[in-house]
């Protein structure tokens, strides 16, 4: 389809000089923080909140809200990219590194993938290597304030190098598997891995 030009289209939201190299293909910079979810926002009492890691681990365990706050904290500052084409540049989140959680449960050598499962029933799948090595967090603060429920609070997964549907809202835990198991959107036409720099939006991209 090379060479097609939309008659009369000039483009009025071209990225500023500093943004262009930070925007993956097909994305635009969005100053706000749009909300996109498939169903009602679950309301989770902090007293009942748990984060579990289960599956192919030597020591499955769960953390309460107090317990997870006792772990060494970690933060992320950078860019996030939604498959619906907005990117939010220079934002920040704080919580705990997934590395810290995995160190506590000791993944078995045969574990290759994880499924994040959530309050409300959402799931998303990731290769294990996409959530370790300083690439993923469980976060409960956004830009210095508690993560609002519509953005996934009390806590969401944060995997900023992949499209943001992988950063599961209202995360309840991770299940380690020795095989891949497509999650909610991955079963409904969206790409299995979702690398924004390769523009992996949909099946077959």
Partner 1 sequence: MGRLSWRLAEVAEVRPETGRVATLALEVPGWDGHLPGQHLDVRLTAEDGYTAERAYSIASAPDGERVELAVERLDDGEVSPYLTEELRQGDQLELRGPVGGYFVWEPGRGGPLLLVAGGSGVVPLMAMLRHRAATGSQVPARLLYSSRSLDDVIFREELERLAEAGDGLTVTQALTRAQPPGWTGYARRIDAVMLEEVGWRPGERPLAYVCGPTRLVEAVAGQLVALGHDPARVRTERFGPTGVP
Report if residue 16 touches partner 1, rule: CB under 8 A. no
DSSP 31: S
Label residue 188 exposed, middle or buried (CB < 10 Å: 0-12, 13-18, 19+): exposed
Report if residue 59 touches partner 1, rule: CB under 8 A. no
| End-to-end CA gap in the chain | 16
Cα–Cα distance, 95 to 43 (Å, whole number)? 19
Label residue 12 exposed, middle or buried (CB < 10 Å: 0-12, 13-18, 19+): exposed
Label residue 195 exposed, middle or buried (CB < 10 Å: 0-12, 13-18, 19+): middle
- Residue 193 CB, shortest distance to partner 1, in Å, is 15
Q: Considering only 8-16, 107-115, 160-168, 175-183, which stretch makes contact with partner 1 by CB under 8 A? A: 8-16
Report if residue 42 touches partner 1, rule: CB under 8 A. yes
Q: Is 7 or 59 the residue whose CB approaches partner 1 more closely?
A: 7
Q: Is 28 or 106 the residue whose CB approaches partner 1 more closely?
A: 28
Q: Is 9 or 58 the residue whose CB approaches partner 1 more closely?
A: 9
Report if residue 65 touches partner 1, rule: CB under 8 A. no
DSSP 57: B
Report if residue 9 touches partner 1, rule: CB under 8 A. yes
* Contact pattern from residue 142 through residue 181 relative to partner 1, giving x for each residue in contact according to CB under 8 A and a dash for the rest: --------x-------------------------------
Cα–Cα distance, 3 to 22 (Å, whole number)? 25
Q: Would you tell me which residues interact with partner 1 (CB under 8 A)?
A: 1, 4-14, 26, 28, 30-43, 84-86, 120-121, 150, 184-185, 187-189, 202-205
């Amino acid at each position: 389809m090379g060479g097609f030009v939309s008659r009369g289209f000039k483009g009025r939201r071209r990225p500023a000089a500093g943004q262009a190299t930070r925007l993956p293909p097909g994305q635009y910079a969005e100053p706000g923080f749009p909300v996109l979810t498939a169903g009602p926002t679950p309301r989770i009492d902090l007293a009942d909140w748990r984060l579990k890691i289960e599956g192919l681990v030597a020591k499955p365990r769960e953390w309460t809200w107090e317990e997870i706050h006792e772990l060494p904290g970690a933060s992320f500052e950078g860019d996030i990219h939604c498959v619906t084409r907005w990117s939010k540049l220079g934002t920040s989140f704080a919580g705990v590194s997934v590395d810290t959680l995995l160190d506590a449960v000791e993944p078995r050598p045969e574990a290759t993938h994880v499924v994040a499962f959530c309050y409300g029933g959402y799931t998303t799948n990731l290769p294990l290597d996409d959530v370790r090595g300083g690439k993923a967090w469980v976060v409960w603060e956004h830009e210095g304030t508690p993560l609002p429920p519509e953005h996934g609070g009390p806590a969401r997964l944060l995997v900023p190098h992949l499209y943001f549907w992988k950063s599961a809202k209202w995360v309840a835990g991770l299940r380690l598997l020795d095989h891949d198991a497509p999650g909610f959107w991955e079963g409904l036409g969206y790409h299995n891995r979702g690398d924004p720099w390769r523009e992996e939006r949909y099946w077959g991209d």
